[in-house]
Amino acid sequence: MARPKISPKVWRPPTAQKPHPDPLPKLTVVQVNGFGAEDVLVEKGHVFTGVEDGRILRLTPDGRRLDMVADTRGRPLGLELYPDGRLLVCDSKRGLLLVDRQSGDLEVLVPRGPDLRVCNNAAVAADGTVYFTDSTSRFDLDHWKADLLEHSGTGRLLRRTPDGQVDVLLSGLQFANGVALAPDESWVVVASTGSYRLDRVELPSGKHSTLVEALPAFPDNIATGSDGLVWVAMASPRIAALDLAHRLHPAIRKAVWALPEPLQVKEKRVVWVRAVDGATGKVVHDFRSVHPDYHMVTGVREDGGVVYLGSLNERAIAYFSLP
Q: Classify residue 21: in a domain, yes or no.
A: no
pLDDT score of 1: 64
- Residue range 201-231, pLDDT digits in tens: 999 999 999 999 999 999 999 999 999 999 9
Quick one: which of 301, 36, 85 has its CA closest to 179?
A: 301
Q: Classify residue 268: in a domain, yes or no.
A: yes
| Residue 41: domain span | 29-321
Q: Tell me: pLDDT of 111 over 80.
A: yes
Name the domain count of the chain: 1
At a CB cut-off of 8 Å and minimum separation 6, what does 291 contact?
24, 27, 29, 271, 318
DSSP state of 133: E
Q: Classify residue 19: in a domain, yes or no.
A: no
pLDDT score of 155: 99
What is the C-alpha to C-alpha distance for residues 285 and 277, in angstroms, rounded to an integer? 10
pTM value > 0.85: yes
Q: Classify residue 10: in a domain, yes or no.
A: no
DSSP symbols for 6-69: -------PPPPP---PBPPPPPEEEE-SSS-----EEETTEEEEE-TTSEEEEE-TTSS-EEEE
Q: Classify residue 16: in a domain, yes or no.
A: no
Output the CA angle 110-66-107, nearest 5 degrees: 15
Distances (CA, A) of 283 to 69, 85, 127, 304: 36, 32, 30, 19
Ranges 16-30, 65-79, 129-143, 248-262: which has the least confidence: 248-262
pLDDT score of 266: 86
- Whether residue 88 contacts residue 96, with contact meaning beta carbons closer than 8 Å, is answered with yes
What is the C-alpha to C-alpha distance for residues 250 and 255, in angstroms, rounded to an integer? 9
DSSP state of 259: S
168: domain CATH number is 2.120.10.30
- Residue range 264-319, pLDDT digits in tens: 888 999 999 999 999 999 999 999 999 999 999 999 999 999 999 999 999 999 99
What is the C-alpha to C-alpha distance for residues 200 and 281, in angstroms, rounded to an integer? 10
Q: Classify residue 159: in a domain, yes or no.
A: yes
What is the C-alpha to C-alpha distance for residues 152 and 323, in angstroms, rounded to an integer? 41
Quick one: which of 147, 177, 194 has its CA closest to 3?
A: 147
37 phi, psi to nearest 5 deg = -75, 80
Quick one: which of 320, 319, 174, 307 has its CA closest to 229?
A: 307
Q: Classify residue 157: in a domain, yes or no.
A: yes
Q: Which ranges in 135-290 belong to alpha helices (H)?
A: 144-150, 240-247, 250-258
Q: Classify residue 20: in a domain, yes or no.
A: no
Q: What's the rounded mean pLDDT across residues 98-121? A: 97
